[in-house]
Amino acid sequence: MRHFPLLSLFLTSTLLTASPLSEEQMVTKGSEASALLLQKLGGELKNQMQTNGSMGALHFCSQNALTLTEQIAKESKTSIKRISINNRNPVNKANKDEIALLNEWDKLVKNGQPLPAQKLVKVSDSTIMYYKPIVINNEACLKCHGNVEGALAKAIHTTYPEDKATGYKMGDLRGMIAITIKRD
């Protein structure tokens, strides 16, 4: 067999350089990262509520929700935010475009229409935004986002003096996950 040193060099270098993602792979990345985030946060929340009660879970959320989100973003090489118009944590506040999308979805919910599982926006050839609605789908959410009273309400107000994230009911749109995905 003849040898083609240049060809083999070429093959090795293309195999070693990760090829840019296709659009479909970018979408898969978004849905995987958002599913993982919901699963992790939901799991930890449940665990904390059971072992340490609402107050312990509140403490856990305020200390760890962002760190957990960052961790999943890093692992999936994306950038992930949890956004709300009625945000609790000031860093999760929606910007103008995000407010428009959330209002559109809120209207659907109020009219009893189904929400899309996700929305994709192509920002450029190399970047897409992946948005996923977050709905109050569990009575447990209402402990801290419903009509919160007493010591828990006080603790929330102490940590988040400008909290807007109460008064929700089951089925309400709470916010969304926004993931920036780059092609390479």
Q: Applying CB under 6 A, which of residues 94, 134, 173, 178 lies at the interface with ligand HEC?
A: 134
**Contacts for 19-23: CB closer than 8 Å, 24+ residues apart:** 19/184, 20/126, 20/183, 20/184, 21/181, 21/183, 21/184, 23/122, 23/128
- Kindly tell me which of 21 and 148 has the beta carbon lying closer to ligand HEC: 148
Stretch that binds ligand HEC, among 70-78, 107-115, 120-128, 131-139 (CB under 6 A): 131-139
CB proximity list for 84: less than 8 A, separation 6 or greater: 92, 93, 94, 102, 164, 165, 174, 175, 176
- Kindly tell me which of 5 and 114 has the beta carbon lying closer to ligand HEC: 114
Residue 20 beta carbon to ligand HEC: minimum distance, rounded to whole angstroms: 31
CB proximity list for 123: less than 8 A, separation 6 or greater: 129, 180
Is residue 133 packed enough to be buried (19+ CB in 10 Å), middle (13-18) or exposed (0-12)?
Answer: buried
- Kindly tell me which of 76 and 87 has the beta carbon lying closer to ligand HEC: 87
Nearest of 139, 134, 133 to residue 170 by alpha carbon: 139
The tokens for 39 are 């699963």
- Kindly tell me which of 21 and 94 has the beta carbon lying closer to ligand HEC: 94
Residue 6 beta carbon to ligand HEC: minimum distance, rounded to whole angstroms: 54
Site for ligand HEC in 63-92 (CB under 6 A): 65-66, 82, 84, 87-89, 92
Residue 23 beta carbon to ligand HEC: minimum distance, rounded to whole angstroms: 27
Residue 182 beta carbon to ligand HEC: minimum distance, rounded to whole angstroms: 24
In contact, 168 and 141? CB cutoff 8 Å: yes
Query: Which chain residues interact with ligand HEC by CB under 6 A?
Result: 42, 45, 54, 57-58, 61-62, 65-66, 82, 84, 87-89, 92, 134, 136, 138, 140-141, 143-145, 165, 174-175
